[in-house]
Amino acid sequence: MQQPDAKTIHSGHSAVPAAENLSMMETGAELERIVHFLQDFCVEVDTALDPNTPNPHLNMILHLLRGHLEGRVISPSSMVAASGVPYATATRKLADLREAGLIEQRPRTKTGKSFSLHPSPQLLGSFHQLADRVDRMARATLLRRANEAGDSDYYFGGSYQPGLAAIAPPSALPQPLKLPGGLRILVHGDPTFMVMETLKRQFEQIVGTGIHQRAFSIDRLREEALRNADRPKSRYDLIAVDLPWLGEFVKKGVIRPLGEVMDVNRLDPSDFHTAGWRAAHWGGQPYGVPSQTTPELMFYRKDWFAQEGLEPPATTEAVIAAARQFHDPRKGRYGVAWNAARGTALGHTFMMTCAAFGQPIVDLPAIAGGFDADHLADGGFAPCFDTDRAHAAADYLMQLMQYSPPDILSMSWYERVRPYAEGKVAMAYGYTLLAPYFELDPSCSAHGNTGYLPHPHGPEGVPIAPVGGYVLCIPSNLAEDRVEEAAEALVAFTSPGAQKLYAQNGSRTAPRYSVGADPEVRRLSPIFELVDQMSWRDELQFWPRPPIPQISDIISICGHELHDMLRGIVSPRNALERVQARATDLLQQTDN
C-alpha cells in the first residue's frame, strides 16, 4: 500500500513477529481506509442479496481492527454484537478466533474478571498482507475503468473532501507494557499534560497497563526531578524536562541519551519542528522527545485593532503605541499583560525580551537566522547583560509597566492570560498552550477575536518566537528491567496519533509538522498552521533561553534583580550591572 502523506510513528516491541510489516501499517490511515472499505462492502453485500449468510469471523475481525486503529476498548460482548449471527453461534466463532491465535485478551481490572480484546501480531501481519492485495486489486480494477472512461482526474484513495487524509487515532500496542505497578510519569501541571490525564483511561488501553501521573508547578517539577535523580532507583519511568533544563540535567546525570535505549529513527526526527528537536540535544545527542513545542507569542485583540485602524504590533515601538492608545484604567481596560512576577516568571520574560532586541544572554556566535546554540556543551560562555541591547530591553519593560494592569508585579504564567481572555487587556505575551483559556470558552471576550504574532522586535532584532515546552526523558537511574518498556511508552505518547488526540481534547501544542498539517487539527485553531509557518520561516528559536547548565540560577538572578528594577528600588543600569556581575561569578565558578 502507499504510505500516508502524513508521517506516522509506530509503536511496538522489536521482538514482535513481522515487525517490518507492522511498522508500515500498524496505525496508518491506509490500513484504516481498507478496514472501512471492507466493512462497507460487507454491509452492501449483506443487504443487497437475499438469501445471504453473514461471515461472523470477518465481521468480528474488522470490528476488532477498527477499534484497535481508533484506540477504542473492544469487549467480547461488542464482538458478539458485530458478528451478525445469533449469540451462541457468535460465541463459538469468537472462540475459534482465539484458538487460532488471532485475538489477545488483556485484563481491565485487578481481578481479571473483566478484559478487553486486541488483535494479535499474527492477525495484524496477516491482515496487512490481505489489505495490500485488496488495495492492489481495487486500484487495478477502478483505475483501468476510469482510464477507459477518459476520466483522467480520478484516482483511487484520493478525495477532495477535507479530513480524509488525516492522521489515524493512536492504536493499542501489539503487546501490553510489562511494568509492575504501571507506568509512572512526572509532568508539569499545564493544560497539555492535564489533557493527557483526562485521556488516561484511553492511553491505558493503548499501552496495556495502568498510568500514574504526578504533576507539579515548574519550580517544584525541577526540584522533584533532581531529588529523584539522587534516589537509588527512579520512581518515574518518564519525566518531563523543561527545554532550558536540558544541559543541567545531562551534566548532573539525571537523564539518559535516547540512543542508549532505542533506535532514534523510530521517532521520525524530521517530522519535529526543527527548533524543538534541536533543543532536545546536548553534545550532539538527543536526550528527550518533544512532548509539546509551545512558542511564546504576542496575543492581540484583532477586533480592537481593527476598530482603531491599527496594524498588528510587529515591533516593540508599535506595542507601546498601541498599549498607550488602549490603556484606560478608569474603564478597567489595560494595554498589555506579561510575566512580571518575581523570580522564574520575570527571569524568562527578560531573557526573551533581550532576544527580541537581538541580544542572547551569553556570547553565542552569530549565524544565519540568529545565534548558534547547538554547541553549548563546549562551555566557556560569558554573560551579556550589560550591553546596549540588554539595556534597551530593560527600558522596554519599564515602558510596559505604564500600560499594564495594577497587579502586573505578581502576574505570571496564567495570570497574564486571564485578564486578556476576559477582555480587560488589549495584548498579552503568552505561550500557545495557554490559548485554550479563551479559544475553548465562547463566553470569553477574546474568543474568536485573537491574532497571534512572533515576539515584536526591537530596532536591532528580528521576529522570533521563543520555543518553550517539554521533552519526555528516561531517567538515568531507572531500573534496567523497565527501560525498554519505558522507551515503548515514550514512542506511544509522542506519536502523531497521540499528539493529534491531545489537540482534539484542548491542547494547543503540536511539536510535529504532520500534526500541524492535519486538516482536522487545523480546523481546531489557527495556531497550528501559524506555528508551522513560523518554523518554516526560521522564527522558532531556542537560543533565547540557551539550556546551559547554569540557566536556572541565571533565570532566578534575572527574576529577582529585574523585579527590584520594576519596583523602582534600583535603576535599570544598576540592575543590569548586578545581573552581569552575579552571572559572571556563577559561570566562572561552575566552569572551573
Q: Given this model, what pLDDT does residue 141 score?
A: 67
Residue 202 predicted with pLDDT over 50: yes
What pLDDT does residue 516 have? 92
CB-based contact 222:242 (threshold 8 Å)? yes
Distance CA 314, CA 109 (A): 55
Which pLDDT does position 449 carry in this prediction? 96
Can you tell me the distance from the alpha carbon of 238 to that of 478, in angstroms, rounded to the nearest whole number? 9
Identify the residue with better confidence: 75 or 393. 393
Give the mean model confidence (pLDDT) for residues 522-550. 94
Whole-prediction pTM value?
Answer: 0.74
Predicted pLDDT of residue 155: 32
pLDDT at position 67 is: 82
Could you tell me the CA-to-CA distances from 306 to 164, 310, 313 in Å, in that order? 36, 6, 12
Higher pLDDT, 369 or 560: 560
> How many percent of the chain have pLDDT more than 90?
65
Q: What is the pLDDT of residue 566?
A: 97
Task: Find all residues with CB under 8 Å of 90, minimum gap 6, and list them.
Answer: 56, 60, 79, 80, 83
Instruction: Give percent above pLDDT 70 in the chain.
Output: 88
pLDDT of 8 = 32
The full 3-state SS of 371-423, as one line of letters, equals: ECCCCHHHCCCCECCCCHHHHHHHHHHHHHHCCCCCCHHHCCCCCCHHHHHCC
For residue 164, pLDDT beyond 70: no
CB neighbour list of residue 18: distance below 8 Å, 6 or more residues apart: 121, 124, 125, 128
Contact 200, 189 (CB under 8 A): no
**What is the predicted pLDDT for the residue at 36?**
78
The two most distant CA atoms of the chain are separated, in Å, by 91
More confident residue, 333 or 368: 333
Say what the pLDDT of residue 428 is. Answer: 98
pLDDT band of 229, cuts 50, 70, 90: very high
pLDDT band at 153 (very low <50, low <70, confident <90, very high): very low
**Residue 543 confidence (pLDDT):** 96
Residue that the C-alpha cell 488483556 belongs to: 106
pLDDT greater than 50 at residue 114: yes
State the CB neighbour count (10 A cutoff) for residue 74: 24
Instruction: Report the pLDDT value the prediction gives residue 13, as an integer from 0 to 100.
Output: 37
Residue the block writes with cell 477532495: 160
Residue 73 — very low, low, confident or very high, per pLDDT cuts 50/70/90?
Answer: confident
- What average pLDDT score do residues 79-84 get? 85
Mean per-residue pLDDT for 365-375?
90
- Distance from chain centroid for Cα 327: 35
Give the domains, in start order, of the chain with CATH numbers: 19-148 (1.10.10.10), 183-293+468-523 (3.40.190.10), 295-466+542-591 (3.40.190.10)
CA distance 360 to 546: 8
Q: What is the pLDDT of residue 110?
A: 66
pLDDT of 14 > 60? The answer is no
pLDDT on residue 185: 96
From residue 317, alpha-carbon distances to 90, 320, 340, 397, 527 in Å are 72, 5, 19, 12, 24
Residue 1 has pLDDT above 60, yes or no: no
Res 297 pLDDT > 70: yes
- 3-class SS of residue 4: coil
Of 137-151, 218-232, 344-358, 552-566, give the lowest mean pLDDT range: 137-151
For the cut 90, the answer to whether the pLDDT of residue 138 exceeds it is: no
Of 61-75, 134-148, 435-449, the range with the lowest mean pLDDT is: 134-148
Backbone angles phi and psi of 579, in degrees to 5: -60, -45
Structural contact between residues 521 and 503, judged by C-beta atoms closer than 8 angstroms: yes
The predicted model gives 155-163 an average pLDDT of: 36
Residue 234 phi/psi, 5-degree rounding, is: -65, 140
Which backbone phi and psi does 471 adopt, to 5 degrees?
-110, 145
Q: Looking at 136-145, 352-361, 404-413, 452-461, which range is the least confident one? A: 136-145
How confident is the model at residue 48, as a pLDDT? 67
Over 90: is that where the pLDDT of 11 sits?
no
In this prediction, residues 440-446 reach a mean pLDDT of: 94
Looking at the predicted structure, is the pLDDT value of residue 521 above 90?
yes
DSSP assignment of 160-222: SSTTTTPPPPP---SS----TT-EEEEEE-SHHHHHHHHTHHHHHHHHTS-EEEEEE-HHHHH
What is the pLDDT at residue 80? 87
State mean pLDDT over 562-582: 97
pLDDT greater at residue 32 or residue 542:
542
What is the three-class DSSP state of 33? helix
For residue 322, report the phi and psi dihedrals to the nearest 5 degrees: -70, -40
Strand residue runs (E) in 41-88: none
Given this model, what pLDDT does residue 349 score? Answer: 97
Question: Please, are residues 406 and 578 in contact by the beta-carbon 8 Å criterion?
Answer: no
Q: Is the pLDDT of residue 149 over 70?
A: no
pLDDT value, residue 165:
52
Secondary structure in 3-state letters for 278-344: HCCEECCEECCEEEEEEEEEEEEEHHHHHHHCCCCCCEHHHHHHHHHHHCEHHHCEEEEECCCCCCH
Mean pLDDT of the chain: 87
